[in-house]
Amino acid sequence: MADKKAQLTIGEGAAPLELPIYSGTLGHDVIDVRNLISSGYITYDPGFMSTASCESKITFIDGDKGILLHRGYPIEELASKSDYLETCYLLMHGELPTKEQKDEFVGSIMRHTMVNEQLKSFLNGFRRDAHPMAVMCGIVGALSAFYYDSLDNDNPRHREISAHRLISKMPTIAAMAYKYSVGQPIMYPRNDLGYAENFLHMMFNTPAEIKPISPVLTRAMERILILHADHEQNASTSTVRLVGSTGANPFACIASGIAALWGPAHGGANEAVLLMLDEIGDVSNIDKFIAKAKDKNDPFKLMGFGHRVYKNFDPRAQVMKQSCDEVLSELGIHDPQLELAMKLEEIALNDSYFKDRNLYPNVDFYSGIILKAMGIPTSMFTVIFAMSRTVGWISHWMEMLSEPHKISRPRQLYTGATQREYVPMDKR
Residue 70 in 3-state DSSP?
A: strand
CB 222 within 8 A of CB 333: no
> Residue 240: pLDDT above 70?
yes
Set 70, 112, 231, 307: catalytic member: 307
Contacts of 232 (CB under 8 A, 6+ apart): 56, 58, 59, 60, 61
Q: What is the pLDDT of residues 129-142, one digit of tens each?
A: 999 999 999 999 99
For the question of residue 364 being annotated catalytic, the response is yes
Q: Alpha helix locations (H) across 152-249? A: 156-182, 195-204, 215-227, 235-244
Residue 218 burial by CB count (10 A; 0-12/13-18/19+): exposed, middle or buried?
buried
CB 290 within 8 A of CB 343: no
3-state helix, strand, coil in the chain (%, to 5): 55, 5, 40
Set 158, 266, 351, 405: catalytic member: 266
Report all structural domains of the chain as residue ranges with CATH numbers, in order of start: 4-52 (2.20.28.60), 109-260+388-401 (1.10.580.10), 269-374 (1.10.230.10)
Q: What is the pLDDT of residues 71-106, one digit of tens each?
A: 999 999 999 999 999 999 999 999 999 999 999 999
Q: Please, which pLDDT band fits residue 2 given cuts at 50, 70 and 90?
A: low
What percent of the chain stands above pLDDT 70? 100
Q: What is the pLDDT of residues 273-286, one digit of tens each?
A: 888 888 898 888 88
Set 83, 230, 314, 364: catalytic member: 364
What is the DSSP-derived secondary structure letter of residue 126?
Answer: S
Cβ neighbours around 283 below 10 Å, total: 13
Q: What is the pLDDT of residues 185-221, one digit of tens each?
A: 999 999 999 999 999 999 999 999 999 999 999 999 9
Q: What is the pLDDT of residues 295-344, one digit of tens each?
A: 889 888 888 888 878 877 788 888 888 888 889 888 887 777 778 888 88
For the question of residue 266 being annotated catalytic, the response is yes
Give the C-alpha distances (Å, rounded to integers) separating 353 from 127, 288, 291, 305, 366: 46, 15, 11, 12, 21
Considering only residues 423 and 267, tell me which one the structure prediction assigns the higher pLDDT: 423
Tell me how far the alpha carbon of residue 127 is from its chain's centroid: 26
The residue among 33, 423, 53 whose CA lies nearest residue 241 is 53
The residue among 235, 246, 270 whose CA lies nearest residue 385 is 270
Distance separating alpha carbons of residues 376 and 178, to the nearest angstrom: 9
DSSP assignment of 195-212 equals HHHHHHHHHH-BTTB--P
Mutual angle of helices 99-110 and 84-93, in 10-degree steps: 110
pTM comes to 0.91
For the question of residue 230 being annotated catalytic, the response is no
